[in-house]
Amino acid sequence: MKYRRLSKEQFQELYFEFSQFLASHSIDAVQWKQLKRESSQKVDALLDIFSDIVWEKVLSKVVSVQYSSPQKIVLLNRENNILKAIIITTNGREVDFETQEGFQWLEKNMDSDQVVLTVGEKSSDIHSELFKWILQGGQITDGELFKRIQKLIS
Angle between helices 40-61 and 126-135 (to 10 degrees): 100
Q: Does residue 53 sit within a domain? A: yes
> Containing domain of residue 37, as a range?
8-61
Same domain, 75 and 142: yes
Domain boundary among 44, 61, 78: 61
- pLDDT for 42: 95
Question: Is pLDDT above 80 for 93?
Answer: no
Same domain, 88 and 120: yes
Same domain, 102 and 41: no
Question: Is pLDDT above 90 for 84?
Answer: yes
Same domain, 68 and 14: no
Same domain, 48 and 96: no
Same domain, 37 and 111: no
Same domain, 30 and 81: no
Mean pLDDT (the chain) is: 93
Q: Does residue 3 sit within a domain? A: no
Domain boundary among 61, 76, 104: 61
Total domain count for the chain?
A: 2
Which of 13-27, 36-50, 87-101 shows the lowest per-residue confidence on average (mean pLDDT)?
87-101
Q: Where are the extended beta strands (E) located within 60-138?
A: 64-69, 72-79, 82-90, 115-122
Helix (H, G, I), strand (E, B) or coil at 142: coil
Q: Does residue 36 sit within a domain? A: yes
Question: Distance (Å, rounded) from C-alpha 54 to C-alpha 3?
Answer: 10
- pLDDT for 106: 86
Same domain, 82 and 122: yes
Could you tell me the pLDDT band of residue 5, with boundaries at 50, 70 and 90? very high
- 130 touches 66 (CB < 8 A): no
Q: Does residue 1 sit within a domain? A: no
Q: For 10-39, write each residue's pLDDT tens digit.
A: 999 999 999 999 999 999 999 999 999 999
Same domain, 87 and 12: no
- pLDDT for 77: 97
Q: Does residue 22 sit within a domain? A: yes
- What's the pTM value of the predicted model, to 2 decimals? 0.83
Question: Distance (Å, rounded) from C-alpha 104 to C-alpha 5?
Answer: 39
Q: For 109-133, write each residue's pLDDT tens digit.
A: 888 888 999 999 999 999 999 999 9
Same domain, 71 and 127: yes
Give the single-character DSSP code of 96: -
